[in-house]
A and B are shown apart, each in its own frame.
Chain A
Amino acid sequence: QVQLVQSGAEVKKPGASVKVSCKASGYAFTSYTMHWVRQAPGQRLEWMGWINAGNGNTKYSQKFQGRVTLTRDTSASTAYMDLSSLRSEDTAVYYCARDVVHYYDSGAFDYWGQGILVTVSS
């Protein structure tokens, strides 16, 4: 069965960076686009960007352009999200999510990681 398992919760100070991992199993990792979505407490979901797990191409939300970097390790079937220059407003649950259509960015996500809480606090 398809599973996306994310790394554990993080606590960071303002100005620091965080790198979150998302290990995929149960499907051909390189055949699907992986997206990253976050949700601040009590807020709406917020899309951050995607990475084509096959060729490594990326697209970032304009809001996060310059602060987020998406990478992947095909040998480990793992995607990574790196967010820099953290501020308190970045405190949120961060999810990886697989695109529902293989080899495509459909903008819809059928499998999600469990989510991890990143807390930014001095």
Chain B
Amino acid sequence: SSELTQDPAVSVALGQTVRITCQGDSLRSYYASWYQQKPGQAPVLVIYVKGNRPSGIPDRFSDSISGTTASLTITGAQAEDEADYYCSSRDSSGDVVFGGGTKLTVL
């Protein structure tokens, strides 16, 4: 399947660690990227291609891959991390595809 599947919602206590997952067959062949999106705003790239972080993204954001599941980990979640998170990769034709998004709540 070329689809990417994410849990609809995840919560984390302030300062704790949370992992957001993204499952899809294409992740065996292509890297995942991760975006943070707050209400009414454009997405922000937080992780791309082999765990790279754009400038300005805190190092509490990291990623990993195991088989067909990619994970975004936030170590020491902050209130400002509350947002929707989307993974992306490619399908078999090389088109970029996005996951359905995970709403992260910081308690």
Contacts and interface: CB of A to CB of B under 8 A. Distances in A.
Contacts of B30: 107
Interface residues of B, number: 23
A100 B50 CA distance: 13
A43 B43 CA distance: 13
Interface string B87-107: 011100111111111000000
Contacts of A108: 33, 45, 48-49, 88
Chain A, interface residues (CB within 8 Å), range: 20 to 34
A100 B54 contact: yes
A67 B68 CA distance: 32
Interface of A: 35, 44-47, 59, 61-62, 95, 97, 100-101, 106-110, 112-115
28 contacts: A44-B86, A44-B99, A44-B101, A45-B35, A45-B101, A47-B97, A47-B98, A61-B95, A62-B95, A95-B42, A95-B43, A97-B42, A97-B43, A100-B49, A100-B54, A101-B49, A106-B48, A107-B88, A107-B96, A108-B45, A109-B43, A109-B45, A110-B45, A112-B42, A112-B43, A112-B44, A113-B42, A114-B42
